[in-house]
Amino acid sequence: MDQPDGHEGIGARARRQETERFVKGAGRYVDDIHLPNQAFAAFVRSIAPHAVIAGIDLEAARQLPGVIGIYTAAELARGSASVLAPPGIAQCPLAADRVRHIGEPIAVVVAESRYVAMDAALAVTVDYDALPVVVDPEQAMAPGAPQLFADRPHNIIEELHFATADVDRVFAEADHVVHARLRSQRISACPMEPRAVAAAYDPGADELTVWVSSSGVHGVRSRIAQALGMSEANVRVIAPDVGGSFGAKNGVYPEEVLLAYLARALRRPLKWAETRIEHLAATKQGRDQTHEIELAVRRDGRILGLRDRIIADMGATSRPDNSLTSAFLYMSGPYDIQTYQVDAYGVATNKAAHGSVRGIGKADAAFVLERTMDIAARQLGLDPIEIRLRNFIPEDRFPYRTATGALLDSGRYHACLRRAAELAAYEQRRREQAALQQRPGVRRGIGVSLVIEPTGAARRNVGGGYGACRMRMELSGAVSVFPNIGQQGQGHVTTITQIVAEGLRLPKELIHVYDSDSVFSPYGPGTGSSRSSVTLMPAVHVATDLLRTKILRIAAHRLGVEPGELRLENLAVRSATSPDRSLSLREIAQIAYLDIDLLPPGMEPALEVTGYFVNPNIVYERDEMGRRNEFMAYPYEAVVAVVDVDTTTGAVDIVKYVSVHDCGVMLNPRIVLTQHLGCIAQGIGAALYEELRYDEDGRLLNGTFMDYLLPTVNEIPDLVVEHMVTPTPFTPLGAKGAGETGMLSPPAALGNAIEDALAPLGVEVRELPYTPERLRLLIKAAAGAPSRAARDEEDRRG
C-alpha cells in the first residue's frame, strides 16, 4: 500500500509512543497506585526448604501498632478473615501444614503501612520440623528419595515419550554416535519491576478490582473468581504499565489471589509490592534441564538420527508447565532429522517452582542441540559451519514437517549462517586463530550457532490459538482500540497504532490503544511465546479491514457509488472518479450512531467491530504417534561469536558477536532491533553469569542482587545485528514473532566458542553458566588428565 504523507504504517520505523511517558517518569506501575485508605500486605515466607509446619506464633506480630490482621491457611479456611465472615477461600495459596521450598508463603500480614507490615512479618515465628531435602532431580527419581507430593511417585510430575520406528536400527548402523551430557542452569527472569498487586472491593456493586503486574489479566481474573467464589463477571483485573516480565509474570500467583481475597474480606484497598529477595526466592524460575543426547552420524557429518533423555527440574510443584514439552518436541531444531527419540521426565525438587523464563524449554533445546553439533563436528574433524550446512533443512522443503509433527513455516538457514560468517569474517578469523594462541594465558575461540524459536504456542485447555481486537470509531472520527494481549515493554501500542493508521489513513494522534483491562479487552491468553505478532497483530489488521469496509459501505450508500470506487484519505471518503462527492469520517460516524435511518438497508448501526485471527498453523489433535504442531511460526538466528578466554582467571571476553536474525516481516524494524539487542544481552547473562544456586540442603545461596549477577553495561559488547526477511505464509502480515530468539543463542554460541578455545587444553564445557570459577576449575582439572575432547582434537590434527 502507498504510504501517505505523515503516516507511519506497517513496517515503518516509527518511534515508540510509550517511551514518552517513561522518560518523563509518568509511567504508572502497580506500586504507583495509591488508593484512599489503602493498607499494605507483607508475606511470611518459609526459611525451611522442606518441613512440616509445627506451629506458627502470631502473638508478637499482632501486638505491633498498626497491624490490621495476620492470616494463615488455617484462619482463611475458617473464613475468619473478616467480621463479615465471607466463605472460606478455595485452594488456599498459603502453605497449610507443609512447606516445600525456601520462600513459600506461609502467612500474610495486613498493616496500615508498608514498614509495619514488614516489621510484623518478621515478628511471626514459625516452628519447622525438618523433612529430608532433595535438590537433584536425578536423585529425586531414585528409589528411597524424599517424596514431595503423595500422588507423584518418584517425584515424577510429567513424563513424555516419542520415538520413530527406526531409531534403534539407525543408531546400530551409523558410522559414529556422538554422545553428550549437557545441563542448562536455573535462572530468574528478573524484570526490573518485581511483581505487585493492588486490590479494592466495592461492596455496593459487589465488584472487585485488582491491579496486577502481570502478562495476562483474564487468567488472573478466572483464578481469583474461582478461589473467592465470585462470578468472573464481578472481578475486574487491570494490568497497568508493567515493568518487564520475560515470562516471570505469566500465569497466576498466590499473592494475587490473597490480596484480592483480603481486600474483599477486610473492605480495605490493599497493596503488596514484591521485594527483590522475594522475587529471587519465590517467583517462578526457569531452565534447569539435563540432557543425555546422542546423534547418529555418517562419516561426512550427515546426521541420521537423534536420541535424547531429558530430566527437567520442575522445583516444588505438582503441576508441569510447558517447558518440557517445548524442548521435547523441538530437539531437531533447524536440521533435517526424521529419526527421533526423546524420553523426558519432569521432576519435583525442593526448589522454587519452575515456570516461564524468556525462551521457556526452547532455549534448553537450542542450547543442547547446538552444543552437540559442535561436539560432533570436532569428533568428525569438520568445520562447525560445514556440519550445519550439510544438515540444515533446505529452503525448498518448506513448509517442513518435523519428526514430531511441527510444521516449520519457512526458513533460509544456509543463507542466514553464511551471512553471519561473512559479517564476522569467519574464514579470516579461523586463519588468525593459531597465531593468536601464542599469546600467554589467553586462548581464542570461535563459536557458531543457528537456533530456531517456536512462537505462538496453542494447545487444548491452554488456548492461545487466536488473536482478537475490538475497535471503535468514535463520533469525532477518533479510534479506540482494545487488543486482547497487553504489553510489558514490547511497544505493542506503537505497532498496533501503525496497523490502524495505515488501514484507516488516520494520523496516530487520533488512535488510542487501551492496554490490558478485563472489562474491555477481549478474552486473551496473555503475552508470551512471542505470539503477539502471529495472532494479535493480524487480528488488528482484520479489525481495521472490517471497520474500513463498513465505513466505505456507508459512504457508498450515501454517495450512490460502488464501494470499490471510493478512497479513504484525509479523514474523509471520496469518489475516485468524481472527487467532489465525499463524506467526512465525522459525517459517516454521525450516520452510524445518530442518523441510523440513513444507513444502508439491513446494516447494523455503530462503527464498532471485533477482528479475530485464527492462526492456521496449529495442529491440536495428536496422531497415533503423538505428533502435533503446537507453535505457529519459527523465527531463527545465526550467530558467530569470538571469545578470548583468560586461562588463569577463567574470564571470558567477547571479542565479536554477530547475529543474523530472521523473524519474517518486521512490523516496526526499530522495535524489533531494540528488543533483539536486549534479548541477546539477557542471553549473555544466562550464558556467562546468571545461576540460582541451591546447596544440597535446599538453601538458596544467591538470593539477592548482591550475588545473583545480572549483566551490567560493562558486560555487553558491541553487537553486530542484521536482519533477513523471510515472511511466514501463515499470516497476512508475514511476521513470525520476535523478542525471544536472541536469548537462545548465547549459551550455545558462547559455549561453542569457549570449548573451541579450550578443547586443545582438554577442557569440555558442558554446564551453564560459563563463569570464571567454573572455567578455571575445568582448566585446572584438565591439566591433570586429557579429556575426550583433547583426544579428538589430537586425532584431528594428527
Partner 1 sequence: MASISVTVNGTTHQVEVEPRLLLVHLLRDVLGLTGTHIGCVVGRCGACTVLWRGKPVKSCMVFAVQTDGSEVTTVEGLAREGELSPLQRAFWEFDAAECGYCTPGMLMAAQGLLQRNRTPTEAEIKRAISGNLCRCTGYLNIVRAIQAASIEISEEDDIRVF
The residues that touch partner 1, with contacts defined as CB under 8 A, are 15-16, 18-29, 31-32, 34, 114-115, 190-194, 241-244, 246, 273, 275-276, 488-491, 670-671, 673-675, 677-682, 704-706, 710, 712-714, 716, 718-719
Min dist CB 34 to partner 1, Å, is 7
- How many Å apart are CA 97 and CA 59, to the nearest integer? 19
Neighbour count for residue 714 (Cβ, 10 Å): 6
Kindly tell me which of 31 and 793 has the beta carbon lying closer to partner 1. Answer: 31
Kindly tell me which of 592 and 652 has the beta carbon lying closer to partner 1. Answer: 652
Min dist CB 285 to partner 1, Å, is 15
Min dist CB 83 to partner 1, Å, is 28
Min dist CB 106 to partner 1, Å, is 22
Q: CA angle at residue 218 from 540 to 544, to 5 degrees?
A: 10
Cβ contact 615:407 at 8 Å: no
Kindly tell me which of 180 and 666 has the beta carbon lying closer to partner 1. Answer: 666
Q: Record the cell numbers describing residue 553, joined without a space.
A: 459501505
Min dist CB 655 to partner 1, Å, is 16
Min dist CB 530 to partner 1, Å, is 15
Min dist CB 741 to partner 1, Å, is 14
Kindly tell me which of 403 and 681 has the beta carbon lying closer to partner 1. Answer: 681
Distances 327 to 344, 476, 707, 785 between C-alpha atoms, Å: 9, 50, 29, 34
- How many Å apart are CA 610 and CA 543, to the nearest integer? 6
- How many Å apart are CA 507 and CA 7, to the nearest integer? 6
Kindly tell me which of 106 and 190 has the beta carbon lying closer to partner 1. Answer: 190
Min dist CB 22 to partner 1, Å, is 3
Q: CA angle at residue 545 from 540 to 546, to 5 degrees?
A: 100
Kindly tell me which of 476 and 704 has the beta carbon lying closer to partner 1. Answer: 704
230-269 burial: b if 16+ Cβ within 10 Å, else e = beeeebbbbbbbbbbbbbbbbbbbbbbbbbbbbbbbbebb
Q: Is the peptide bond before 143 cis (omega within 30 degrees of 0)?
A: no
Kindly tell me which of 25 and 440 has the beta carbon lying closer to partner 1. Answer: 25
Min dist CB 332 to partner 1, Å, is 29
Q: Is 394 helix (H, G, I), strand (E, B) or coil?
A: coil
Kindly tell me which of 620 and 705 has the beta carbon lying closer to partner 1. Answer: 705
> Which residues lie below 8 Å from residue 747, measured CB to CB, with a gap of 6+?
184, 363, 366, 367, 683, 686, 687, 768, 769
Kindly tell me which of 100 and 531 has the beta carbon lying closer to partner 1. Answer: 531
Q: Record the cell numbers describing residue 739, joined without a space.
A: 523478542
Q: Record the cell numbers describing residue 727, joined without a space.
A: 515472511
Min dist CB 356 to partner 1, Å, is 15
Residue corresponding to grid cell 578466554 = 645
Q: Please choose, from the candidates 752, 768, 783, the residue with its C-alpha nearest in 3D space to the C-alpha of residue 647.
A: 783
Distances 211 to 91, 98, 257, 259, 637 between C-alpha atoms, Å: 21, 30, 11, 10, 37
Q: Record the cell numbers describing residue 524, joined without a space.
A: 486473551
Kindly tell me which of 23 and 172 has the beta carbon lying closer to partner 1. Answer: 23
Give the number of C-alpha atoms closer than 13 A to the C-alpha of residue 778, restricted to the C-beta side.
Answer: 29
Min dist CB 242 to partner 1, Å, is 7
Min dist CB 197 to partner 1, Å, is 15
- What's 392's DSSP letter? B
Instruction: Report the residue count for the chain.
Output: 798
Kindly tell me which of 413 and 689 has the beta carbon lying closer to partner 1. Answer: 689
Min dist CB 495 to partner 1, Å, is 13
Q: Please choose, from the candidates 253, 205, 259, 252, the residue with its C-alpha nearest in 3D space to the C-alpha of residue 228.
A: 259
Q: Please choose, from the candidates 463, 541, 486, 479, the residue with its C-alpha nearest in 3D space to the C-alpha of residue 511.
A: 479
Neighbour count for residue 474 (Cβ, 10 Å): 16
Q: Record the cell numbers describing residue 110, joined without a space.
A: 495486613
- How many Å apart are CA 530 and CA 495, to the nearest integer? 14
Cβ contact 610:545 at 8 Å: no
Min dist CB 241 to partner 1, Å, is 6
Min dist CB 299 to partner 1, Å, is 41
- How many Å apart are CA 726 and CA 739, to the nearest integer? 17
Which amino acid would we find at residue 740?
E
Kindly tell me which of 191 and 477 has the beta carbon lying closer to partner 1. Answer: 191
Kindly tell me which of 483 and 742 has the beta carbon lying closer to partner 1. Answer: 742
Kindly tell me which of 13 and 439 has the beta carbon lying closer to partner 1. Answer: 13
Min dist CB 57 to partner 1, Å, is 25
Min dist CB 189 to partner 1, Å, is 8
* Ordered DSSP codes for 289-300: EEEEEEEEE-TT
- How many Å apart are CA 82 and CA 464, to the nearest integer? 38
Which amino acid would we find at residue 116?
V
- How many Å apart are CA 686 and CA 508, to the nearest integer? 38
Kindly tell me which of 305 and 746 has the beta carbon lying closer to partner 1. Answer: 746
Output phi, psi for 536, to 5 deg: -65, -50
> Which residues lie below 8 Å from residue 398, measured CB to CB, with a gap of 6+?
408, 409, 410, 411
- What's 78's DSSP letter? H
Kindly tell me which of 299 and 693 has the beta carbon lying closer to partner 1. Answer: 693
Kindly tell me which of 116 and 591 has the beta carbon lying closer to partner 1. Answer: 116
